Amino acid sequence: MAALVIAATACNTDIFNLELNLETVTLSADFGSATDTIPVIPCDPATPVVCGEAQVVDTTAVHSAVADVSVSPGCDAGTRQCFGDATIVLVQPVNVLQDNNFTTRVARGSTSLVRMVDIAYAMPVNTLTFAVPDIAVYVGPGDAVHASDPGVVPVDTIPGVPAGTPFTDRRHLRIAEGSDAANVIEQNIGARTPFTFILVTTPRIVGGAPAPAGAFEIDLYPTVQVGFP
């Protein structure tokens, strides 16, 4: 009897708890091929209107992601020159029922446990003419498009990347077990409902710098552990 219990336990551990690599989540944006330089515009912090008004920048996204870029101008009190803070928002929904890695291994059967194991990331494409500051990573419901939408929670921060500097070595986001981000991912995978990754960064464009151009791509590699009843 004891041998049977041990064998059953070992079988349950090896077969009924799978660590799955979900399909890669790709987020990207292309700013075109401008080759000019941002003009240097003197300004007075008391009257920053000379620097212009907020505007939306035309960008192209691929891989079904959404890329939203807006620029808010201002006047730097130290240099007394105009600048533009460009807010870049990348949005990519994830649907495990369309994920071959998930459906092939798990099919459509019920699961009793989904545990977030890891999210690795890389930036295999970076031809940008400007440095990318820290990138805030969020996760939320499948219909979320903004970091401020209901149910969206922070995951971690990707450290800033210099202009034109890609990297393919996989680095890792920190997701604490039991955290809000882990719960959102685990619950949506367990319920077979879509969830969304949202990435936000705000580079500053200053006079004398190259005009924003080039493209970049960030790949996320989620790994989860699935247990069966």
What DSSP assignment string belongs to 23-55?
A: PPEEEEEE------BPPP-B--TT-GGGG---E
- Give me the phi and psi of 88, to 5 degrees please: -110, 125
Give the per-residue pLDDT at 7. 37
What DSSP assignment string belongs to 86-102?
A: EEEEEEEEE-GGG-HHH
Residue showing tokens 């459906």: 103
Q: Is the pLDDT of residue 8 over 90?
A: no
Residue range of the domain that includes 212 = 18-227
Q: Average pLDDT in the 67-96 region? A: 87
Non-local (6+) Cβ contacts of 111 within 8 A are 190, 226, 227, 228, 229
Distance in angstroms (rounded) separating the CA atoms of residues 123 and 169: 9
Non-local (6+) Cβ contacts of 112 within 8 A are 227, 228, 229
Residue 82 lies in a domain: yes
Residue 97 lies in a domain: yes
Hey, what are 204's tokens? 């500053």
Hey, what are 173's tokens? 């986001």
Residue 5 lies in a domain: no
Give the per-residue pLDDT at 164. 95
Q: How many domains does the chain have?
A: 1
Kindly report, residue by residue over 170-218, the tens digit of the pLDDT.
999 988 888 999 999 888 887 888 899 999 999 988 888 888 889 999 9
Q: Is the pLDDT of residue 81 over 60?
A: yes
Distance in angstroms (rounded) separating the CA atoms of residues 169 and 216: 16
Residue 160 lies in a domain: yes
Kindly report, residue by residue over 144-166, the tens digit of the pLDDT.
989 999 999 999 999 999 999 99
Q: Where are any strands of DSSP class E within the chain?
A: 17-21, 25-30, 55-57, 66-76, 81-94, 113-126, 135-141, 153-158, 167-173, 195-201, 204-206, 215-227
Residue 13 lies in a domain: no
Residue 3 lies in a domain: no
Kindly report, residue by residue over 54-71, the tens digit of the pLDDT.
766 655 544 445 667 888
Residue 89 lies in a domain: yes
Give the per-residue pLDDT at 9. 38
Hey, what are 186's tokens? 């685990």
Residue 154 lies in a domain: yes
